[in-house]
Amino acid sequence: MSKKIFSEILFGVLIILFGTLIYFDTSPSIYGFPVPKSLGGFLIILGFFWVFYALLNKKKLITTWKKAKEVESIWICPQCLKPEYRQDNPDLKCRVCHTNLEDLDGFYERNPELKENKKI
């Protein structure tokens, strides 16, 4: 869990705690000013929404990042050594020799003998 999301959730929890304190206080006040109990209830709900949205955004961020990574990934034909974007070739088969493409990420580490003809 990243630091930012952690502090956002912590902030939400603090709002909930603060709201709870006001809500269960017999004569709630902030800095000596009396406040209505409903403010406590409002803060509790606000805190829950805050935490909920923090978690929701986190999930959205991960999905977006994963999609971006998938679209950007480059694959390569081990025969022709022709690189292609995954999005341009969803079958992941070489258009020339119909060999299965391989993920370029780590390709030359898995096939060190091909390094001499390295084109990309």
Applying CB under 5 A, the span of 32-40, 50-58, 67-75, 79-87 interacting with Zn ion comes to: 79-87
CB atoms within 10 A of CB 118: 9
Q: Which residue is nearest to Zn ion (CB)?
A: 94
Binding flag, residue 120, Zn ion (CB under 5 A): no
Q: Smallest Cα–Cα separation from 107: which of 90, 82, 87, 89?
A: 82
Radius of gyration from C-alpha coordinates of the chain:
27
Q: Is 76 in the site for Zn ion (CB under 5 A)?
A: no
Q: In whole angstroms, what is the distance from residue 120 CA to residue 112 CA?
A: 14
Report which residue type is found at 30.
I
Q: Does 81 bind Zn ion (CB under 5 A)?
A: no
Hey, which residues between 13 and 72 contact Zn ion (CB under 5 A)? Answer: none
Chain residues in the site for Zn ion (CB under 5 A)? 77, 79-80, 94, 96-97, 99
